[in-house]
Amino acid sequence: MKRQKARSLLSGLFLLNVWYRADMSTTMTLEEAAKTFSKQYGLLRDEIQKSVVGHDAIVEGVLISLFAGGHALLEGVPGLGKTLLIRSLSEALHLQFTRIQFTPDLMPADITGTTVVVEVGGQRNFEFKQGPLFSQMVLADEINRATPKTQSALLEAMQEKSVTVGGETHKLQQPFFVMATQNPIEQEGTYPLPEAQLDRFFFKLHVGYSNRSELMEILNRTTSGHQPNVEPVLDAEQIVSYQHVIREVSIDQHVQDYAVRVVLATHPEEQLATPQVQSFLRFGASPRAAQTLVLAGKVRALLEGRTSVSYDDIRASVLPALRHRIMLNFEAEAEGIEGDDILQNLIDTLPTDIQ
């Protein structure tokens, strides 16, 4: 089994190298890359499922965020396996992994690093000591418990892929992927992320409870001495290569226009806005939401071995891409209307053809 996986990975890397040597306009090489990516994604998902039971949609959302070059925000109560998911993902991807437990007393220098004085041979020199943020995969656990100043330090690194300390800029390793978690129940002693900072996350994923069969399997694995052996499937170089390949996936103008109209339809003042949007939203999604829909659509297309984005690829990404980029008004909160309900209604009612 291990030899088969090794041969598959070598084959995938060879095809990826062929893709980069070939002319970018050659459709066949892109199709080969799509098939290889879809196959290796399946291997990666199988390795993660050795440790993580269920949560297929969450695993898919996290992987789409990673391959699109974005970051993921997971919201769910404690004990649902969020930490286990990213640890298993880091093992399956053979990437350096760090976990940062966010607390109110955590300072920006605690995560980015700081400049210290080092004495060598009787001489004192300034030396930069890297913080835990200098990793390829970072779990920002309970991000809403840290102060806004520390949150901003993390979100700046997410956006710029670099850290500036003492006037000197330090580049982060590539790929750089942050998965942040927050507890939707406990609000005491928390600092909710402002809308402008939430917009930096590619996807916001809701982690729900396991069903009966999944919970039984969790008990079988965790109460019987079961030790999953997660094997590395992809390395950093391959992930970065696939991130470039994904951007070469084509999207027709009418499909891209549909993504644009979905975003515009979340603005209450726009003509495209649905009655629910006009009644229950204060603000709609930003242009970054349209970028997210297109990139996520390209990843989904490649996962199915296709080289072009479809309407369904865009629709499948609307909820995780937009739910944290819209703001409900008082009427929605008073009537118990959820943002996902409004977005689902938008998907169901907005036509794909140009009106």
Question: Where does a domain end: 164, 196, 228?
Answer: 228
CB of 180 closer than 8 Å to CB of 143: yes
Q: Collapse the DSSP code of 170 into the 3-class scheme (helix H, G, I; strand E, B; otherwise coil) and give the result.
A: strand
Spatial distance between the Cα atoms of 263 and 111, rounded to a whole number of angstroms: 34
Per-residue pLDDT reduced to its tens digit, 147-159: 888 888 888 888 8
Q: How many domains does the chain have?
A: 2
The rounded percent of the chain whose pLDDT value lies above 90 is: 30
Question: Where does a domain end: 174, 193, 228?
Answer: 228
Band the pLDDT of 19: cuts 50, 70, 90. Answer: very low
Are 68 and 161 within one domain? yes
Quote the pLDDT of residue 188: 57
Evaluate whether residue 12 is within a structural domain.
Answer: no
pLDDT at 13 over 70: no
Are 207 and 256 within one domain? no
Omega prior to 351 cis, within 30 of 0? no
Q: Provide the CATH number for the domain around residue 320.
A: 1.10.8.80
Q: Provide the CATH number for the domain around residue 219.
A: 3.40.50.300
Q: How far is CA 128 from the centre of its chain?
A: 29
Per-residue pLDDT reduced to its tens digit, 187-220: 555 677 888 788 899 999 988 787 888 788 878 8
Phi, psi of 353 (to 5 degrees): -80, 155
Is this prediction's pTM over 0.95? no
Listed range (17-31, 48-62, 197-211, 319-333) with the worst mean pLDDT: 17-31
Beta pairing, strands 177-182 & 72-75? parallel
Phi, psi of 250 (to 5 degrees): -85, 155
Evaluate whether residue 198 is within a structural domain.
Answer: yes
Evaluate whether residue 6 is within a structural domain.
Answer: no
Evaluate whether residue 201 is within a structural domain.
Answer: yes
Cα distance between the two ends of the chain: 53
Q: Collapse the DSSP code of 1 into the 3-class scheme (helix H, G, I; strand E, B; otherwise coil) and give the result.
A: coil
Are 211 and 341 within one domain? no
Are 178 and 283 within one domain? no
Quote the pLDDT of residue 268: 92
281: CB partners within 8 A, 6+ apart: 266, 268, 326, 327, 328, 329, 332, 342
Range of the domain at 153: 51-228
Average pLDDT, the chain: 83
pLDDT at 25 over 50: no
